[in-house]
Structure 1
Amino acid sequence: MGITLDKVEKKAPELLSLAKTAASAIDTARLNGQRAKVALVLDYSGSMRKEYKSGAMQRLTETILALGVHLDDDGEIDLFTFDSSARHEGTVTLGNFRDVIAKIVAKRHMGTTNYAAAFRAVLDYFKLAPKSGGGFFRKSTGYSAVDARDGQPVLAVFLTDGSPDSKAEAVTEITRASYAPVFWQFLSIGAENIAFLQRLDDLEGRYVDNADYKPVRDVDRTKPEDLYEMVLDEYPGWLDDQRRRGHIR
């Protein structure tokens, strides 16, 4: 099970309200008892500079950590950033979350927007990259479906403010990722919807529908309960499908 609210109050009292809101959202989505690894995948391209400087990305990290407190056995989340490349920045916990974004900003430079690298980084880190298979999947796509490690899927919350460097590569990688037990919740910030994210949401030719897109506009003006509702909107249906296929417990 995840971390109790008593432990949140003791180790990170400033997150207690968020953790209670997340618990309510999980209950509404009927996900009580469903374990998952939670990944936060943040755009670190140059156009995101203002969002990091303002503290918006730190606050978003705290909001998603409050969700991970309940979904992850260890009550933590994995943080990834992507620009021209992508990497795992480490695990965010109740003990180290307070300055986690400041440490990232201090040690790396911003680049462009490589979605494909982000998709690969998450699959590689969790060792869920699909492999060439046999039978129908081998013939039609070159991939075979991968079962969740320890029966636990990954919920990847992916936030960006723009389209990728290579749309074709991103399409290839999200299609490949559909054979892994990872659900991608795409969120966008900025005044305009990102048409390419909607294209990925509706993409044909995937093993399963493994993504949803919601425009957030401004994360700091979005109520936590509304953000959790977005993140958990299509995820339960994907879980049901994965469970029917035998890829998760």
Structure 2
Amino acid sequence: MSTIDLRKKAVSITLTKKNIAGVVARVGVVLDISGSMHSLYQNGTVQDVVERILAIACQFDDNAQLDVWVYDNEFSRLAPVTERELEGYVKKRILNDPSVHKFGRNNEPPVMEDVIRKYTVEEESELPAFVIFINDGGVLKSIQKVITRSAVLPIFWQFVGIGKSNFEVLKRLDTMAGRVVDNANFIHWDRIETVSDEALYDRLLDEFPQWLEAAKQKRIVR
């Protein structure tokens, strides 16, 4: 079996364990491409992260595709990735594309607003969107306003911190007040490339089922 097939199998096991096998959801990934991420793009870590998250999309999404954004102080919404386009995706679609702004400073709210625009305006649906947000440093405090405002929308934000920053803002996500449902979670690894697929999927999908149940009760998703 290929690595993507093995990873899809690992996702399936996790979904069964968490009682969400059969759930249909749209899946997106937002990738930090600020200057401090340079080495992780060059050494293949980001390409591997894309493959690992694509395995989730293959189980959740009817089209088996992963929506992709990258951001620094600007952002780009990229072509979705599928198994057919997976090989060399980061190099072809990001590193070798001069229209993609890269390796500047970080600014999260604009890309978050574009995620919201895609899933609630351009492609409005009652299906949930599971958005995995990869970041290696401090995020702007203003993301809290975006998260609070989007709590009534069918979007769950799973933030993933990598590296040794303190992630002060992200650590406070679970205690943010003023939301209809808790629509965001934060997990952290110093080196995501050393985490097994089983451990990765178990943590990534830890709070999504709880949000899904709460969002159904509030009629945010069907």
Shift of 1:200: 2.6
Shift of 1:127: 2.7
RMSD between aligned alpha carbons? 1.7
CA distance in 2, matches of 1:178, 1:46: 30
Point out 4+ residue stretches in structure 1 off by more than 4 angstroms. none
2:185 counterpart letter in structure 1:
D
CA distance in 2, matches of 1:201, 1:40: 20
Q: Which residue of 1 aligns with 2:64?
A: 75
CA distance in 2, matches of 1:191, 1:111: 19
Mapped contact 1:88–1:125 kept (Cα < 8 A)? no
Q: What is the number of equivalent residue pairs in this alignment?
A: 218
Which of 183, 192, 196 aligns to 1:210? It is 183
Structure with larger Rg: 1
5+ residue gaps, structure 2, are none
1:19 counterpart letter in structure 2:
K
1:190 counterpart letter in structure 2:
G
Mapped contact 2:156–2:183 kept (Cα < 8 A)? yes
5+ residue gaps, structure 1, are 1-8, 130-147
Which of 134, 157, 178 aligns to 1:159? It is 134
CA distance in 2, matches of 1:219, 1:128: 33
**C-alpha offsets along residues 23-50 of structure 1, whole Å, 9 cap, x if unaligned?**
1111111111110000011101011001
Mapped contact 1:78–1:91 kept (Cα < 8 A)? yes
1:237 aligns with 2:215: no
Mapped contact 1:175–1:206 kept (Cα < 8 A)? yes
Q: Which residue of 2 aligns with 1:110?
A: 103
Query: TM-score scaled to structure 2, two decimals?
Result: 0.92
Q: Which residue of 1 aligns with 2:74?
A: 85
CA distance in 1, matches of 2:176, 2:79: 31
Within 5 Å, which residues of 2 pair with 1:100-249? 100-103=89-92, 104-107=94-97, 108=100, 109-128=102-121, 149-164=124-139, 166-167=140-141, 169-249=142-222
CA distance in 2, matches of 1:202, 1:85: 29
